[in-house]
Amino acid sequence: MTDTSFPDDFLIGAATAAHQIEGNNVNSTWWALEQRAGSFVSEPSGDAADSLHRWPDDLDLVASLGYHAYRFSIEWARIEPAPGQFSRAMILHYQRQIDGCIERGIVPVVTLHHFTEPLWFAKTGGWAGDNAAELFARYVGAVAHILEPVPWIATINEPNMVACAIGTLRRATGRAPAEPDDVPGAPLGPPDEAVAHGLTAGHHAVRELLHESVPGAKIGWTIANQVVQAAPGGEQHADRYRERIEDRFLRESVHDDFVGVQAYSRNVFGPDGPVHDDAPDTRTLMGWEYFPDTLEHAVRHTREVVGNVPILVTENGIATSDDTRRIAYTRSALEGLQRAMADGVDVRGYLHWSLLDNYEWGSYRPTFGLVAWDKDTFDRHPRESARWLGHVARTRRLA
Write the pLDDT tens digit of every residue in 89-138.
Answer: 999 999 999 999 999 999 999 999 999 999 999 999 999 999 999 999 99
Q: What is the mean pLDDT of the chain?
A: 96
Helices (H) and strands (E) in the chain, counts: 14, 13
pLDDT score for 304: 98
Residue 39 burial (CB count, 10 A)? 12
Rounded distance between C-alpha atoms, residue 77 and residue 119, angstroms: 7
Confidence tier at 178 by pLDDT (50, 70, 90): low
Give yes or no for a contact between 111 and 157, defined as CB atoms under 8 angstroms apart. Answer: yes
pLDDT score for 257: 98
The answer to whether residue 180 scores a pLDDT higher than 70 is no
Nearest C-alpha neighbor of 16 from the set 68, 59, 47, 53: 59
Q: Is the pTM of this model over 0.85?
A: yes
User: Phi and psi (nearest 5°) for 42?
Assistant: -85, -20
Rounded distance between C-alpha atoms, residue 139 and residue 124, angstroms: 15
pLDDT score for 212: 97
pLDDT score for 1: 44
pLDDT score for 3: 67
Q: Give the tens place of pLDDT for each residue, 252-294.
A: 999 999 999 999 999 999 999 999 999 999 999 999 999 999 9
pLDDT > 90: percent of the chain = 93
Q: Give the tens place of pLDDT for each residue, 337-383.
A: 999 999 999 999 999 999 999 999 999 999 999 999 999 999 999 99
Confidence tier at 218 by pLDDT (50, 70, 90): very high
Length of the chain: 399
The answer to whether residue 172 scores a pLDDT higher than 80 is no
SS3 at position 261: strand
